[in-house]
């Protein structure tokens, strides 16, 4: 009795791949890329809030050190790492090398990656990404709306954050003249 063997390409065309969050060799579609990036941004923000609450309970010097270190690590390491991993997978969906993910350092490039459709068939990076479930599509709509709403809500709470208000002109001291006439 001989077992049938299938070529990897034939299997790749028939079964979509199940998503793996931190895999560098898979592909990810536009909606999943967008939702994962926004989910990571939201998760990093919530993690920072939790760390700030814990740091507030610590002694002043230690709390300030913990909060500053955590902010730097999350802003400079954790979130960019997630963006790079997702950008590599998104570029794989476009049949491009992961090295192109260095373009993610340029502002607005991740948004461009959301707008360009991927390849409809299997490519050298793997099978077609799995279809997006309804919950993921809902998250891709609700998360940006919630983040924008939170941003505008925070502007109402913190009037110093408003850019439109200008200080009165009379509050500025005049320049001193040193002319000896």
Query: Do residues 147 and 42 touch, judged by C-beta distance below 8 A?
Result: yes
Token pair, residue 156, equals: 């109402």
* CA–CA dist 141, 132 (Å, integer): 13
Rounded to an integer, what distance in angstroms lies between the CA atom of residue 16 and that of residue 176?
Answer: 73
**Local structure of residue 170 (DSSP, 8 states):** G
pLDDT at 178: 67
Tokens 């997978």, residue located: 89
- Three-class SS of residue 129? strand
The helix/strand/coil state of 99 is: helix
At 104, the pLDDT band (50, 70, 90 cuts) reads confident
Distance of alpha carbon 151 from the chain centroid: 16
Nearest CA to 26 out of 12, 11, 5, 46 is that of 12
Whole-angstrom distance, CA of residue 47 vs CA of residue 41: 10
**Model confidence pLDDT, tens digit, residues 58-99:** 998 999 999 999 999 999 999 999 999 999 999 999 988 888
- Residue 9's pLDDT is what? 47
Average pLDDT, the chain: 80
> Is-contact 129 31, C-beta < 8 A?
no
Q: Where are the domains of the chain?
A: 24-157
Of 23-27, 35-39, 108-112, the range with the lowest mean pLDDT is 23-27
What residues are paired with 129 via a beta bridge?
Answer: 17
Mean pLDDT of 144-160: 80
Half-sphere exposure for 52 (CA within 13 Å, toward CB): 10
Report the distance separating Cα 68 and Cα 51, nearest Å.
10
Q: Percent of the chain having pLDDT more than 90? A: 27
């Amino acid at each position: 009795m001989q077992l049938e063997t299938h070529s990897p390409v034939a299997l790749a065309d028939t079964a979509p791949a199940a998503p793996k969050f931190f895999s560098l060799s898979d592909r990810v579609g536009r909606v999943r890329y967008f939702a994962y990036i926004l989910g990571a941004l939201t998760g990093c923000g919530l993690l920072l809030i939790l760390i700030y609450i814990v740091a507030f309970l610590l002694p002043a010097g230690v709390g300030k050190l913990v909060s500053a270190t955590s902010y730097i690590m999350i802003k400079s390491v954790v979130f960019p790492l997630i963006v790079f991993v997702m950008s590599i997978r998104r570029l794989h969906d476009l049949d491009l090398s992961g090295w192109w993910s260095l373009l993610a350092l340029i502002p607005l490039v991740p948004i461009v990656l959301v707008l360009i459709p991927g390849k409809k068939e299997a490519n050298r990076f793997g099978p077609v990404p799995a279809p997006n479930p309804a919950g993921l599509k809902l998250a891709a709509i609700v998360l940006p709306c919630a983040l924008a709403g939170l941003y505008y809500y925070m502007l109402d709470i913190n009037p110093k954050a408003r850019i439109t208000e200008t200080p009165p002109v009379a509050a500025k001291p005049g320049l001193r003249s040193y002319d000896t006439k």
